[in-house]
Amino acid sequence: MNDENNEVNAEKFKNNLLLLLDLINEIIDYGKSNGINIDIDNTVFIGSKFFINKSDKIFLIKNFISKSYEYWDSIKNKDEDFLKNNCNILFNELPEKYIDIFKNMFEYKLEDGSLLLDEDVKNNIWELIFALINNSINHIYQIREMSKDPVTLKYTKNYFPIIKIKNEKEKWNIK
């Protein structure tokens, strides 16, 4: 296994998680400035970012994989109902209040009656979640490590064996 590649991949995962938090915080701020009463202050956001920054990146990615892998198809299909109803499973390391607000973001309406999350913003959220899954699939692949024997072509480690990496790499278009 190339430990350096896996460390880089886990760091990318952590950075993508932080980007997702930043995006959610920007959405919350935008909603608040446009008449939506969102009962959360920046200390929850700051605390969440602090927790993620201080957490071991391998712990974060393993935790995400173990909680999310069975839902990757729903995520790939951009199933909003799934996301609203299960974001507590996917992001269980975040405070419950933050997760509740994330769930409600899909329903919040601005003063003019339009939804807080337009299609572009939703797509940005999905793309960041897709990136987390992409990082997760690469992490598993790198940990499993292919044997050097060209005849056997087997993985050398049994890491998240329930996940069929070849299928997932194809489904998510990962080279």
The per-residue DSSP string of 109-171 comes to: B-TTS-BSS-HHHHHHHHHHHHHHHHHHHHHHHHHH-B-S-TTT--BSS-SSTTS-HHHHHHH
In the chain, the number of structural domains is 1
What phi and psi values does residue 118 have, to the nearest 5 degrees? -80, 175
Q: What mean pLDDT is predicted for residues 76-103?
A: 86
Confidence check: pLDDT of 130 > 50: yes
Q: Which H or E element spans position 74?
A: helix 72-76
Over residues 36-60, the mean pLDDT reads 89
Range of the domain at 24: 3-171
Using CA atoms, how far apart are residues 125 and 129, in angstroms rounded to an integer? Answer: 6
What integer pLDDT is reported at residue 2 of this predicted model? 63
Rounded Cα distance between 71 and 118, Å, is 24
Residues 6+ apart with CB under 8 A from 8: none
Please tell me which residue, 6 or 104, carries the higher pLDDT value: 104
Tokens of 32: 């608040």
Cα–Cα distance, 170 to 104 (Å, whole number): 33
Q: Which residue has the higher pLDDT, 59 or 175?
A: 59
150 or 81, greater pLDDT: 81
